[in-house]
């Protein structure tokens, strides 16, 4: 390891990048307390906490949050099952077409979200499926599944394959091996994948605009506010709420997978 410090210029460039990434998010906190209603004036002319109370009273926001939570919960649940199955199959065996199938599994996030959204929209149109919670869930599960798949697959790759053989060798059948060896090994990866999937679904807007119809999830509500700003201070408060709801699972997922690196043997 080299002992000398980093060049000053490099340090400045790196810090500037950190500032670039984080200052915009911090500004939102500031704006949530502004007294200015009509514009994005900086610096804010005055400060107030009243907007939080006003948001609390708004039924349309609560409804949007409710729908978002419902969709994210169902989509995460389905994604956990589908993503784990896919990861287990891909990690477990070499079979014909394995590479193509693994490519298919990451395609929903490799292709722009608009492609997934528009494809689903036209399919709903052709099959005369009316928009409902389930049409949103259908779209979200498609990409949430990929997140779970990636997380669980990474864990499977880190855990020694001989562990499963050792369990069977000691007399455990497939179910016992799954319960006592596989599940404990992948539990934290499942939890992390589930949390990220939840955060992703809770925040998703591109696919949702195509599959929601007249329904309003929280991001759709925000998008409408962005295109036609009517209630700027309220949007600020909702934005803070969204940041809070997504940060918690992201940080938790980070710590879970980091923990996993210690128990799962070799790191990345």
Partner 1 sequence: MTTAVSFQNISRYFGPVRAVDEVTLDIAEGEFFAMLGPSGSGKTTCLRLIAGFEQPTSGHMEIFGVTSEGVPPYQRNVNTVFQDYALFPHMTVLDNVAYGLMVKGVDKPTRHHKAQEALTLVALGSFGSRRPSQLSGGQRQRVALARALVNEPKVLLLDEPLGALDLKLREQMQVELKALQRNLGITFVFVTHDQGEALSMADRVAIFNDGKIVQVGSPEDIYERPNTKFVADFVGSSNVLSPAFSKSAGGPEKWASLRPEKINILPAKVKPSPGQQSASTKIVAVHYQGSVTRLNTRTVGGETINVTVPSSLGKFTEGDEVMLHWPQEALHIMAGEA
Partner 2 sequence: MSLTRSISNFLFKHPNGFLTLLLAPPLLWLGIAFLGSLSVFLFHAFFSIDEFSGFIKYEFTLSTFAELFRLSNFDVIIRSLVMATAVTLASVVIAFPFAYFAARYARGKWKALFYILVMLPLWSSYLVKVYAWKLILAKEGIISWLAGELHLTWALDALLAIPVIGGPSLSISFLGTFLVFVYVWLPFMILPTQAALERVPVNLIDASSDLGGTPAQTFRHVIFPLALPGIIAGSIFTFSLTLGDYIIPQIIGNSSYFLGQTVYTLQGTAGNIPLAAAFTVVPIVIMGIYLAIAKRMGAFDAL
Residues 198-227 that bind partner 2 (CB under 8 A): 199-200, 203, 205-206, 209, 219, 222-223, 226-227
25 is a site residue for partner 2 (CB under 8 A): yes
Single residue of 10, 166, 170, 183 touching partner 2 by CB under 8 A: 10
Phi-psi region at 213: left, alpha or beta (left = phi > 0; alpha = psi -120 to 50): left
Q: What tokens appear for 71 in the block? A: 């969709």
- Neighbour count for residue 215 (Cβ, 10 Å): 17
Q: Evaluate whether 239 touches 186 at the Cβ level (below 8 Å).
A: no
* Radius of gyration of the chain from its Cα atoms, rounded to whole angstroms: 23
Q: What tokens appear for 232 in the block? A: 């700027």
Q: With respect to partner 2, which residue has the nearer C-beta, 183 or 226?
A: 226
Q: Which does 13 bind (CB under 5 to 8 A by kind): partner 2, partner 1, none?
A: partner 2
Residues 87-146 that bind partner 2 (CB under 8 A): 88-89, 92-93, 95, 101, 104-105, 107-108, 110-116, 118-123, 126, 138, 141-142, 145
Q: Which does 69 bind (CB under 5 to 8 A by kind): partner 2, partner 1, none?
A: none
DSSP type of residue 266: S
Q: With respect to partner 2, which residue has the nearer C-beta, 239 or 264?
A: 239
Residues 163-182 that bind partner 2 (CB under 8 A): 173-176
Q: With respect to partner 2, which residue has the nearer C-beta, 104 or 187?
A: 104
Q: Evaluate whether 149 touches 86 at the Cβ level (below 8 Å).
A: yes
Q: Which does 184 bind (CB under 5 to 8 A by kind): partner 1, partner 2, none?
A: partner 1
Q: With respect to partner 2, which residue has the nearer C-beta, 101 or 166?
A: 101
Q: Which does 262 bind (CB under 5 to 8 A by kind): partner 2, partner 1, none?
A: partner 1
CA distances from 35 to 29, 63, 97, 233, 240 (A): 13, 26, 60, 8, 16
Q: Which does 251 bind (CB under 5 to 8 A by kind): partner 1, partner 2, none?
A: partner 2
Q: Which does 142 bind (CB under 5 to 8 A by kind): partner 2, partner 1, none?
A: partner 2
User: Which residue in 206, 214, 207 sits closest to 120, CA to CA?
Assistant: 207
Nearest distance in Å: CB 153, partner 1: 19
Nearest distance in Å: CB 59, partner 2: 21
Determine the Cα–Cα distance for residues 105 and 143; give it in Å rounded to an integer: 9
Who's near 232: CB < 8 A, 6+ residues apart? 37, 38, 39, 40, 225
């Amino acid at each position: 390891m080299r002992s000398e410090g980093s060049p000053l210029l490099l340090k400045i460039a790196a810090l500037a990048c950190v500032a670039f990434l984080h200052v915009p998010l911090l500004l939102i906190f500031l704006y949530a307390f502004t007294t200015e209603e009509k514009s994005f004036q900086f610096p804010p002319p005055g400060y107030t906490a009243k907007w939080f109370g006003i948001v609390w009273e708004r039924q349309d926001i609560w409804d949007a949050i409710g729908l978002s939570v419902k969709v994210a919960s169902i989509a995460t649940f389905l994604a956990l099952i589908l993503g784990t199955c896919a990861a287990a199959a891909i990690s477990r065996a070499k079979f014909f077409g394995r590479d193509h199938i693994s490519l298919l599994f990451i395609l929903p996030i490799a292709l722009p979200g608009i492609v997934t959204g528009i494809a689903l929209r036209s399919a709903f149109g052709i099959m005369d499926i009316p928009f409902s919670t389930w049409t949103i869930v259908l779209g979200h599960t498609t990409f949430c599944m990929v997140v779970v798949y990636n997380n669980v697959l990474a864990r499977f790759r880190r855990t020694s394959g001989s562990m499963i053989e050792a369990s069977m060798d000691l007399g455990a059948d497939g179910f016992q091996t799954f319960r006592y060896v596989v599940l404990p090994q992948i539990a934290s990866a499942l939890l992390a994948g589930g949390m990220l999937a939840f955060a992703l679904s809770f925040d998703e807007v591109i696919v949702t605009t195509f599959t929601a119809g007249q329904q309003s999830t929280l991001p759709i509500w925000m998008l409408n506010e962005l295109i036609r700003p009517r209630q700027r201070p309220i949007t600020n408060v909702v934005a803070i709420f969204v940041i809070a709801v997504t940060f918690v699972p992201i940080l938790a997922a980070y710590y879970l997978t980091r923990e996993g690196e210690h128990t799962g043997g070799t790191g990345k």
